[in-house]
Amino acid sequence: MKPLATRLINEAEEAYKSASEKFENSSIPDHFPNYYKTNINKQLESAEKSLKDSKKWYDQYTYYTSTSKSFQSLISSRFVNYTCDYYDSGNQDFINELLEQVEEVYNESSKLAKNTEIVDLISLQTVGAAQRRATEAKLYLDSAKSTNLYTFSDVLDFLYDIAFVVERCNSISWWIGIGDHFNSTGNITDSKLENIALEYIYEAQQAVTYSEVILNELSQTSYNSASYLSSAKSLLETARDDLDSGFPAAAFFEALEALVKANLALEVIGTNEKDKIDISSEQAINNIAKSRKQGIEPVLAVSYYEYAESLSNESSFESALIYYKYSGMIAGAISYTNASAGSYKSSYVGISRVNAPLSIWVLERLVFIIGIFVLGGLAGLGIGLIIGSFLENKQKKKKPPVHYSSRTYDHTPRYYYPNNQIPRSIKEYYKKNK
């Protein structure tokens, strides 16, 4: 990751220098009522700050975080460049020509992400990261194409989306190239990759459904729980779309993230993200170590763990928790994929069974438990019919009188609890309602 971080700092420096010079010589107005130049200058300042942050994290050997900050700086600088070019050109042709150029950039980059061969667990990670970036670029490109350019403010939104698309497309080749720096490990075929992606999409759907049911039963839930669940649903849809569109590696990692967020929707009830940072960090470290013990370098897991560390240091605990969890999930899933080669089915594969939340433990066994009850019910019904037939004649001769209970029933909903007694899992929920 260090060579890429070094390269991006250099590119971000050049982009910032170009944007600064162009901005100084631009004729963008800066007077009442159109203080456009002041607003655009804020983006230039953002580019400079992100570049400084990139260098700071680079000096602390956190190279993935450095690349992330460089990426943010590159977007802001490109946006300033595009804005100056648009205003100085003074015509609509600039917009049409720029959109045409960027669509061509996207098509080429998307084709690269789709056609790069995935043959092992390293390329699964690096090409998967590239494919996810192609998907994200497409979202911003679609947004830009649907923007109605009625005002200069609309034009700025359009130009920012376009700047994002270009830089995101550039990052596709970065990620594909990273794989060349690692030894090949494991064996992945196209059919195996599709099966793995489908399996985790299925697991994510189970987790989303389970979390949704439990949250609907609770009388109170947090905003974060609802947010995590909504994001999980969106990721799940994107994973399905990407699998259909020929991006199976992207679908695999999107399903993993959906699984993480669906689980977090329940895990954060009654707590805050900061309280869960330490254990999530430890779980990620353990899964990364396990992966390395198998001879696999979990490139993405290490990158996201590093990013989580930097977010935690900046007190961005909510985002840090997501990346710690995602890091641990990736490392666990990579280890499972290598060990099993898709040979057996297991719910919530990739999650440490020792440290798995109780809610996951219950869901793993829920189908089995339901099956036991169904079989028991059928057996009981059969026995009851036999006994009932034997005793039928006797019961016809003597009917016992019917007694109606005078008991007053409490119709308070069974799922209402005081704030400090909210069930943390389905097992605890039924226990409280016995």
Q: Choose among 419, 415, 409: nearest CA to 429.
A: 415
Per-domain boundaries in the chain: 1-180, 190-341+423-433
Alpha carbons 219 and 422: distance in angstroms, whole number: 8
Helical ranges in 179-247 per DSSP H: 190-217, 223-244
Contact (CB, 8 A) for 76 and 47:
yes
Contact (CB, 8 A) for 237 and 257:
no
Among 78-82, 133-137, 332-336, 408-412, which stretch is predicted with the lowest mean pLDDT? 408-412
Alpha carbons 426 and 191: distance in angstroms, whole number: 36
Alpha carbons 141 and 105: distance in angstroms, whole number: 11
DSSP 181: G
Report pLDDT digits (tens) over 254-277.
999 999 999 999 998 888 778 899
Mean pLDDT of the residues in the chain: 82
Among 168-182, 194-208, 263-277, which stretch is predicted with the lowest mean pLDDT? 263-277
Report pLDDT digits (tens) over 58-102.
999 999 999 999 999 999 999 999 999 998 887 778 999 999 999
Helix, strand and coil content of the chain, in percent to the nearest 5, comes to: 75, 0, 25
Output the pTM of the full model: 0.76
Report pLDDT digits (tens) over 362-384.
344 444 444 444 445 544 555 45
Residue 415 in this model has a pLDDT that exceeds 70: no
Report pLDDT digits (tens) over 12-43.
999 999 999 999 988 887 777 777 888 899 99
Report pLDDT digits (tens) over 51-63.
999 999 999 999 9
Report pLDDT digits (tens) over 202-239.
999 999 999 999 998 886 667 889 999 999 999 999 99
